[in-house]
Amino acid sequence: MALGEFDDWKIVALAGGVGGAKLAHGLAQILPAENLTVVVNVADDFEQYGLTVCPDLDTVMYTLAGIAARETGWGIEGDTFRCIEALAKLGAPDWFRLGDRDLATHLARTRWLWDGATLTDATRRLCESFEVRQSILPCTDDLLRTIVETDEGDLEFQDYFVRRRFEPTVRGFHLRGLPAALPSREFLEALDSADATVLCPSNPFVSLGPILALPGVREKVAAKAAVAVTPIIGGRAVKGPLAKMFLELGRESSAVEAAREYRGIIRGFLLDRQDVSRKEEIEAFGFQVKIADTLMGDDLQRKNLAAETLRFIRTGLSG
Amino acid sequence: MALGEFDDWKIVALAGGVGGAKLAHGLAQILPAENLTVVVNVADDFEQYGLTVCPDLDTVMYTLAGIAARETGWGIEGDTFRCIEALAKLGAPDWFRLGDRDLATHLARTRWLWDGATLTDATRRLCESFEVRQSILPCTDDLLRTIVETDEGDLEFQDYFVRRRFEPTVRGFHLRGLPAALPSREFLEALDSADATVLCPSNPFVSLGPILALPGVREKVAAKAAVAVTPIIGGRAVKGPLAKMFLELGRESSAVEAAREYRGIIRGFLLDRQDVSRKEEIEAFGFQVKIADTLMGDDLQRKNLAAETLRFIRTGLSG
C-alpha cells in the first residue's frame, strides 16, 4: 500500500462491539484520524447500579486507544476487579464484570449525562481523555434498546447476552425507542461528508441493525458507496451469538444470510476466503463480492483487511 | 471487669465518624451484640457520581466489622484506588478518595435505595454482608444535610471538610431538611428500649448536633441516663476540625465548651485526665464528671473507655 493512498478519503464505519472495533482499528491505522468516523451501536447499552454502561462504545474507544483487553475483547487490559468482587459479596449483581478502571468510565459518563451532556458529548470527552483522535459517535443520543424475543420471554440485550450467556432460544428482535429515536446530528453530518461507509463485521441483528433502523440512515448509507465485511466465516461467528441466532431463526448460519440482511444498503461484500464457494449466491443480491482474509487476529491483519476494504471501494465498486 | 457485668444493659450510642466509631467498637467488645444500637449521623452524607455516600455510617460499619483502615480512619484497610485514579485522569472529581472495595458499598446502597429501600434497610443489608451483629441505624431516613456557613459562603459538609480540607473560616451551621426530617422509627424504638444513651466523642456541631436536632430526640435522650465522652483533649480535637471551629466561632477550644453543647441533654460527662483542672466548670452545667483516659489508640483502650463509660452510668449517676 502506498503511503497516503487513502489520505483524501473520508470514511464512516458502522460498528458494534469487538469485531467492529477491530476493523475500526485497522482503518485507524490507514486513514488520517480526522477522516475516520466510527458510528457505534448503543442499543446494547444498559443501566447497572444507576450507571450508564455502553459496552460497544467503550470497546471501540478502548480498542482505538490501544488499551482494550486483548484476550476478552471487552474492558481494559490489566484492569482489576476489586469493586465487582466486593459487590458480589454484598449480594449485588456481578454478572456484568465491570473492572475498576473501566468503572471510572461509567461513573464519569453518568455524571456528565446527569449534568445535561448528550451521549455524543460524553463520548467526545472520554475520547479526549483516552487520546483517541478519531471521531467515535453513538448512533443516537436518544433511548434505543434491543429487545431479544426468546423462549423465556423478552430480554434486554445484556440480560440475554451476558447474564444468560445467550442461552435462551431467539425468536426475533425488536427495538425499544423507535420511531422516536433519531440519528444524532453529528452522525448525519458524518454520512453527508463521507466518501463511503464500511459496515464492520458486527452482528447484523443486534449491532448494525439498530444503527440502520434509525430514521433516514439506511437511505443515506445506500446513497453512496457502502460495503460490508462478513461477520460469518465458514459458517461460524468469530465471537458472539450470531451463528446461534441464525439457526434459532430457522436460517442457515452463513455469510450468505448475513449478506442478505444488507440488501438495499450496500453495494459490495467482503467474503472470507473459506466461503468462496458461496460467492455467486451473494452476487445474486446485486452485490459485488471481494474475497479476502477477514479474520483479524493481530494489528497487521486488522490493517490489511482495512486496506483491502478501502481498495475494494475505490476500485472494485467502480465497475 | 467481671464477665457479663453489663449483659443486661441496652445501650444506644450516638456517633459521628472516627471517634464515634472507636467508642462504638469499645462498647461492642463489652455488650452483647443485640444490646448495642449505634445511631449514626447522616448529615454529612453526599452524592458523588450519582452514588449515595454515607461516610459516618460506613466508618462505623467498617470499624465494627474490623475492616476499617487503621491509619486514615476511613475506608477499608488495604483497599486499592484504581477507579478513583482513573476518574482523575478523566477529569472527574477525585477529592473524595473512594476505594475500589469501598465503592461497592456505595454502588450497592444506591441501587437498593433506587429500588425503594430506606437507608435503614440498606444499612441493615450492608451490615449483614459485613457480618456486623450490632444494630447500626442512620438517625433518619429523610434528607438531612449539614450546611457549613463560612467566609466563602455556605458549603455542604463534605465540600467544606474534604474538598476544602476545612480551610474556610466557619461562621455557623444550619441543617437542610429540618423540620421535615424525622428520626426513624427504629431509632425512636431503640431509645425507648434503651437503659442509657452514650454520646460518643464526636463533633457536637456537625456529628451529634444533627442527630440531636431531629424532632423529639433531645427530649427522649434526656429522659434517661445519658453521658457524653469529651471530643476535646487538652484543648485539641483528636481528629477533625472541632478545635478550629470553636476558635472561629469566638469560643475557647476546650472540653468545657464541648460539654456546654450538651446542656439539658446529658447527666454525666467523661473528661480526659489532662483536663482535670476544668472539672468544676463542667460540673457547673449540672453534670456529674468522671475523669478518664479518653484517647483510644488501640482496641484495648477502646474497650477500657467503653467500660469506664458504662460503669459511670451505672454507679456514678445514681447519686
CB contact under 8 A, A104 and B87: yes
Average pLDDT, stretch B135-149?
A: 97
pLDDT higher than 80, residue A319: no
Please report which confidence band the pLDDT of residue A318 belongs to, taking 50, 70 and 90 as the band edges. low
* pLDDT value for A7: 86
CA distance B195 to B3: 19
pLDDT higher than 70, residue A257: yes
Architecture of domain A11-45+134-144+177-316: 3-Layer(aba) Sandwich (3.40)
A244 φ/ψ angles, rounded to the nearest 5 degrees:
-60, -40
Q: In this structure, are residues B137 and A76 in contact, taking their beta carbons and an 8 Å threshold?
A: no
Residue with cell 486507544: A65
Nearest to B129 among A89, A114, A125 (CB): A89
Count CB-CB contacts under 10 A for residue A131: 10
Average pLDDT, stretch B33-59?
A: 95
CB contact under 8 A, B83 and A87: no
Average pLDDT, stretch B18-44?
A: 97
pLDDT higher than 80, residue B316: no
Tens digits of per-residue pLDDT, A33-86? 999 999 999 999 999 888 999 999 999 999 999 999 988 878 999 999 999 999
Average pLDDT score over chain B = 95
Three-state SS at A276: helix
Residue with cell 449466491: A281
CB proximity list for A298: less than 8 A, separation 6 or greater: none
* pLDDT value for B2: 47
pLDDT higher than 70, residue B3: no
Query: Buried b / exposed e across A244-255, counting CB within 10 Å, b at 16+?
Result: bbbebeeeebbb
pLDDT higher than 50, residue B1: no
Q: Which of A66-75, B18-27, B58-67, B291-300 has the lowest mean pLDDT?
A: A66-75
Q: In this structure, are residues B125 and B149 in contact, taking their beta carbons and an 8 Å threshold?
A: no
Return the bridge partners of B140, or none. Answer: B183
Strand order in the sheet with B225-229: B135-138, B36-40, B11-15, B196-199, B225-229, B268-272, B288-292
Q: Find, among A260, A55, A40, A73, the residue nearest to A156 by Cα.
A: A55
Query: In this structure, which topology does domain B11-144+177-316 adopt according to CATH?
Result: Rossmann fold (3.40.50)
Q: Which CA distances in Å does A36 have to A183, A196, B78?
A: 18, 11, 44
pTM: predicted TM-score of the whole model, two decimal places:
0.90
Tens digits of per-residue pLDDT, A155-189? 999 999 999 999 999 999 999 999 999 999 999 99
pLDDT higher than 80, residue B254: yes
Q: In this structure, are residues B58 and B108 in contact, taking their beta carbons and an 8 Å threshold?
A: no
Please report which confidence band the pLDDT of residue B319 belongs to, taking 50, 70 and 90 as the band edges. very low
* pLDDT value for B318: 53
CB contact under 8 A, A84 and B104: yes
Residue of chain B minimizing CA distance to A76: B86
Query: Buried b / exposed e across B191-208, counting CB within 10 Å, b at 16+?
Result: beebbbbbbbbbbbbbbb
So what's the ipTM on this one? 0.87
Q: Find, among A10, A5, A22, the residue nearest to A207 by Cα.
A: A22
Boundaries of every domain in chain A:
11-45+134-144+177-316
* pLDDT value for A126: 98
CB contact under 8 A, A90 and B101: no
Q: What is the DSSP string of A197-254?
A: EEE-SS-TTTTHHHHHHSTTHHHHHHHSEEEEE-SEETTEESSSSHHHHHHHTTS--S
Instruction: Give the minimum alpha-carbon distance from A23 to chain B in angstroms, rounded to a whole number.
Output: 26
Count CB-CB contacts under 10 A for residue B99: 24
Please report which confidence band the pLDDT of residue B50 belongs to, taking 50, 70 and 90 as the band edges. confident
